[in-house]
Chains A and B, each alone.
Chain A
Amino acid sequence: MPAVQETIEHVRTLDVDQYKYGFETHLEVDKAPKGLNEDIVRLISAKKDEPAWMTEWRLDALRRWVTMREPTWARVNYPPIDYQELHYYAAPKMNAAPKSLDEVDPEILRTYEKLGIPLREQEILAGVEPSRRVAVDAVFDSVSVVTTFKEELAKAGVIFCPISEAIREHPELVKKYLGTVVPVSDNYFATLNSAVFTDGSFVYVPEGVRCPMELSTYFRINERNTGQFERTLIIADKGSYVSYLEGCTAPARDENQLHAAVVELIALDDAEIKYSTVQNWYPGDAEGKGGVYNFVTKRGDCRGKNSKISWTQVETGSAITWKYPSCILRGDNSRGEFYSIAISNGFQQVDSGTKMIHLGRNSTSRIISKGIAAGRSENTYRGLVSAHRRASGARNFTNCDSLLIGDRCGAHTVPYIESKNASAIFEHEATTSKISDDQLFYCLQRGLDGEEAIALIVNGFVRDVLQQLPMEFAVEAQKLISISLEGSVG
Chain B
Amino acid sequence: MSTEAASTLPAARLFPAEERLVEHFRNLKPDLPDDESGRLRRDAAIARIERDGLPNRRVEEWKYTDLRTLLREAAAPAPRPDARVAETARADARVLAELEAVRIDFVNGHLVAAGDAPAGVTILPLARALEESHPALADFDAVEVARGNALIDLNTAFLGDGVIVHVSAGRQAGAPLHLRLVNRGEAPFATAVRVLVIVEKGAALTIAESHEGDVAAQPNTLVEFVLGDGAKVEHVRINAEAAGALALSTVTAMLGAESNFRSVNLVAGGSASRHQVFLAYGGENAHATVAGVTVISGEEHADTTLVVDHAVPGGESRELFKTVIDGDATGVFQGKIIVRQDAQKTDGRMMSAALLVSPGATMNNKPELEIWADDVQCAHGATCGELDEELLFYLKARGLPQAEAAALLLQAFVGEALELVSDETMREAMNALAVKRLENRS
Residues on A lying within 8 angstroms of B by beta carbon are 1-3, 72-75, 389, 402, 404-407, 409-432, 434, 487, 489-490
Query: Which of B369, B375, B380, B384 has a CB less than 8 Å from the CB of A426?
Result: B384
- The answer to whether A2 and B386 touch (CB under 8 A), given A73-B60, A414-B368, A428-B365, is no
Q: How far is the CA of A416 from the CA of B336 in the complex (A)?
A: 12
Q: Sample 11 A-B pairs with CB under 8 A, ordered by A number.
A: A404-B372, A410-B370, A413-B367, A422-B361, A424-B384, A425-B386, A426-B365, A428-B367, A429-B382, A431-B380, A489-B371
Query: Which of B365, B373, B377, B380 has a CB less than 8 Å from the CB of A404?
Result: B373
Check B399 for interface membership: any CB of A closer than 8 A.
no
A420 pairs with B381, CB closer than 8 A: no
On chain B, the residues within 8 Å of A412 by CB distance are: 368-371
A422 pairs with B368, CB closer than 8 A: no
Q: How far is the CA of A425 from the CA of B383 in the complex (A)?
A: 7
On chain A, the residues within 8 Å of B370 by CB distance are: 410, 412
A490 pairs with B386, CB closer than 8 A: no
On chain A, the residues within 8 Å of B380 by CB distance are: 413, 428-431, 490
Q: Which B residues from 346 to 383 make CB contacts under 8 A with A?
A: 349, 354, 356-359, 361-383
A430 pairs with B369, CB closer than 8 A: yes
Q: How far is the CA of A434 from the CA of B349 in the complex (A)?
A: 13
Known: A404-B373, A422-B359, A489-B339. 5 other contacts (CB 8 A): A406-B374, A417-B364, A417-B366, A421-B359, A430-B379
On chain A, the residues within 8 Å of B339 by CB distance are: 489
On chain B, the residues within 8 Å of A389 by CB distance are: 359
Which residue in chain A gives the minimum CB-CB distance to B58?
A73
On chain B, the residues within 8 Å of A430 by CB distance are: 369, 378-381
B361 to chain A, nearest CB (A): 6
B393 to chain A, nearest CB (A): 16
Q: How far is the CA of A425 from the CA of B359 in the complex (A)?
A: 13
- Dominant SS among interface residues on chain B: strand
Q: How far is the CA of A432 from the CA of B364 in the complex (A)?
A: 23
A365 to chain B, nearest CB (A): 14
Check B341 for interface membership: any CB of A closer than 8 A.
yes
B330 to chain A, nearest CB (A): 9
Q: How far is the CA of A60 from the CA of B118 in the complex (A)?
A: 74
- The answer to whether A422 and B381 touch (CB under 8 A), given A412-B369, A414-B368, A489-B371, is no
B362 pairs with A428, CB closer than 8 A: no
Q: How far is the CA of A426 from the CA of B361 in the complex (A)?
A: 14
- The answer to whether A489 and B386 touch (CB under 8 A), given A410-B371, A417-B365, A418-B363, is no
Contact with A along B373-403 (1 / 0, CB 8 A): 1111111111111100000000000000000
On chain B, the residues within 8 Å of A406 by CB distance are: 374
On chain B, the residues within 8 Å of A417 by CB distance are: 363-367, 382, 384
Check B1 for interface membership: any CB of A closer than 8 A.
yes
On chain B, the residues within 8 Å of A411 by CB distance are: 369, 371
Q: How far is the CA of A429 from the CA of B381 in the complex (A)?
A: 4
A199 to chain B, nearest CB (A): 34
Which residue in chain B gives the minimum CB-CB distance to A75?
B1
A3 pairs with B381, CB closer than 8 A: no
- The answer to whether A490 and B369 touch (CB under 8 A), given A427-B383, A430-B381, is yes
Q: How far is the CA of A422 from the CA of B362 in the complex (A)?
A: 8
A389, A411, A434: most-surrounded residue (chain B CB, <10 A): A411
Q: How far is the CA of A335 from the CA of B88 in the complex (A)?
A: 61
On chain B, the residues within 8 Å of A410 by CB distance are: 370-372
A450 to chain B, nearest CB (A): 12
On chain B, the residues within 8 Å of A409 by CB distance are: 372, 374
- The answer to whether A415 and B371 touch (CB under 8 A), given A73-B1, A424-B384, A489-B376, is no
A426 pairs with B383, CB closer than 8 A: yes
- The answer to whether A413 and B373 touch (CB under 8 A), given A73-B2, A419-B362, A428-B382, is no
B362 pairs with A489, CB closer than 8 A: no
List 7 tightest A-B contacts by C-beta distance, closest first.
A422-B356, A425-B385, A431-B379, A417-B365, A404-B374, A490-B379, A413-B369
Q: How far is the CA of A432 from the CA of B380 in the complex (A)?
A: 10
Which residue in chain B gives the minimum CB-CB distance to A431?
B379
Check B83 for interface membership: any CB of A closer than 8 A.
no
Query: Which of A75, A421, A423, A431 has a CB less than 8 Å from the CB of B349?
Result: A431
Check B5 for interface membership: any CB of A closer than 8 A.
yes
On chain B, the residues within 8 Å of A423 by CB distance are: 385-386
Which residue in chain A gives the minimum CB-CB distance to B382?
A428
On chain A, the residues within 8 Å of B384 by CB distance are: 417, 419, 424-426
B367 pairs with A415, CB closer than 8 A: yes
Q: How far is the CA of A384 from the CA of B375 in the complex (A)?
A: 28
B366 pairs with A421, CB closer than 8 A: no
B364 pairs with A418, CB closer than 8 A: yes
On chain A, the residues within 8 Å of B367 by CB distance are: 413, 415, 417, 428
Q: How far is the CA of A68 from the CA of B364 in the complex (A)?
A: 28
- The answer to whether A489 and B369 touch (CB under 8 A), given A2-B374, A407-B374, A424-B385, is yes
- The answer to whether A419 and B356 touch (CB under 8 A), given A413-B369, A414-B368, is yes
A421 pairs with B368, CB closer than 8 A: no
- The answer to whether A3 and B1 touch (CB under 8 A), given A415-B366, A428-B367, A489-B369, is no
B357 to chain A, nearest CB (A): 6
Which residue in chain A gives the minimum CB-CB distance to B354?
A419
Q: How far is the CA of A421 from the CA of B367 in the complex (A)?
A: 20
B365 pairs with A407, CB closer than 8 A: no
On chain B, the residues within 8 Å of A418 by CB distance are: 362-365
Q: Which B residues from 246 to 284 make CB contacts under 8 A with A?
A: none
On chain A, the residues within 8 Å of B349 by CB distance are: 431
A279 to chain B, nearest CB (A): 23
Q: How far is the CA of A389 from the CA of B328 in the complex (A)?
A: 11
B368 pairs with A415, CB closer than 8 A: yes
A419 to chain B, nearest CB (A): 5
A11 to chain B, nearest CB (A): 12
